[in-house]
Amino acid sequence: MPLNAIVVVVDGLGAGHLGPYGNSWLDTPHFNRLAAESVLLDGFYADSIELSAIYRSYMNGQHAFSNGADNATLLQLLQQQDVNSILLSDSREVLELPQSREFSQKIELSVPTIETPVSDLVETQFARIFLDALDAAATAQHPYILWVHCTGLSQVWDAPMANRFQFADEEDPDPADIVTPPNFTLPAKFDPDEALPFVQAHAGQVDVLDTCLGVLLDNFPLLPNHDETLFALTSPRGYPLGEHSQIGLGLSNDSQQTNLYSEHLHVPGLLRYPNSDLAMRRLKRFVQPADLYATLLEWFDVPRPDEIWGRSIPSLLAMDESGLAQELAAAASPNERLLRTRAWLWKQREGESASQLFTKPDDRWEVNEVANRCPKIVDRMELAFDAFRAAAMNNRRSELPQVDEELYDIFR
């Protein structure tokens, strides 16, 4: 049976900003609704914060560390099955990526130049791109994959001030009225009120996104073949808001000095299958971008290449929990590397011997650094990262390191 898929990728949307991931300060009723109808990927970690690397993982089914020959791309394999592929985006960078060339149709949505927040939600960029996505899905030739990439929270903050002020108490400073997302480092000992106006402005953007998602979900049943269409929503990377003195990704300055934490890498992942299949499921295993490649191949019933890094979400759901503790996720920026196990998050700057270590899941926001108290764990995490990277570079998941008990269970 021919099938369809709509994939929405929202840049700058961290998992911690959404209700389904435990945020109780920012109400996101439509994300909550989508989560109730979907598989929720609890441990979705980006493998990079560079769009080119992330899209290589999405489209080639390989980890960002891979340096081997590319697999047949997702689009090549879908084209062999006569699946129409459409890319709709307001990101020139994404439209010009090598991985985007194979879309059978590309639709560019311009980003208007504005100097102040818009006055009405319907004028926002989110509203424009979500309405265009509905139009594209309504007219797409079946079967199809519609890939929607929004610059989202990384390029323009145009939310009306009313949406921003709802997150400000009387004694708070006013939300920032900026339209260009901030990108700077706060002083080592900063007053939280210095970051708060940007947090409120960002929350206004998420509020607009949530409303626009609600419109899309309301109109989804009106689409042709909606009962044969998979809907997926994720993000390539989060947007730090001062959690570790950094506001913004830090990739636009000359030094390219990022300071990787979960606010960069822990991103949402929600997959809504037709007819409520797999609804209300929460996947605890770590998921990375290459797994979306495998999931979409399985959805379209396309044979997967012999050697790919990604694993499909249904196959992960079907596993018993005996191997859950062995799960690993790794990522790197231009100057840092990071490894996550069930019990620890380890990070280190390239070329430096000192590391940082945090206990998981208790230290959710990575506040209490414990490397000097757990030197054996630090050494093992570094070795595990090196082995992970070697396996990923050669695209051989079978060579992933075995995680010993101390790395996955701090209570043993």
Tens of pLDDT, residues 184-230: 989 888 888 899 999 999 999 999 999 999 999 999 999 999 999 99
CATH superfamily label, 4-318: Alkaline Phosphatase, subunit A (3.40.720.10)
Question: Of 8-17, 79-88, 226-235, 399-408, which range is least confident?
Answer: 399-408
With cut-offs at 50, 70 and 90, classify the pLDDT of residue 72. Answer: confident
Virtual torsion, Cα 385, 342, 44, 279, nearest 10 deg: 150
Virtual torsion, Cα 18, 23, 25, 30, nearest 10 deg: 40
Distance CA 33, CA 53 (A): 31
User: Does 351 or 301 have the greater pLDDT score?
Assistant: 301
Secondary-structure class of domain 335-408 per CATH = alpha beta
Cα-to-chain-centroid distance, residue 350 = 24
Question: What percentage of the chain reaches a pLDDT higher than 70?
Answer: 95
pLDDT score of 325 more than 70: yes
Residue ranges of the chain that CATH labels 3.40.720.10: 4-318
Could you tell me the pTM of the whole model? 0.95
Residue 253 confidence (pLDDT)? 47
Mark 100-127 as b/e (b = at least 16 C-beta within 10 Å): beebeebbebebeeeeebbeebeebbbb
Q: Which of 300, 188, 183, 310 has the alpha carbon at shortest distance from 244? A: 188
Residue ranges of the chain that CATH labels 3.30.1120: 335-408
pLDDT score of 404 more than 70: no
Distance CA 280, CA 278 (A): 7
Q: At 3, is the secondary structure helix, strand, or coil?
A: coil
Question: What percentage of the chain reaches a pLDDT higher than 90?
Answer: 80
Are 65 and 289 in contact by the 8 Å Cβ rule? The answer is: no
pLDDT score of 256 more than 90: no
With cut-offs at 50, 70 and 90, classify the pLDDT of residue 407. Answer: low
Mean residue pLDDT of the chain comes to 92
pLDDT score of 50 more than 50: yes
Q: Read off the pLDDT of residues 299-314 as tens digits, 9 standing for 90 and up.
A: 999 988 877 899 999 9
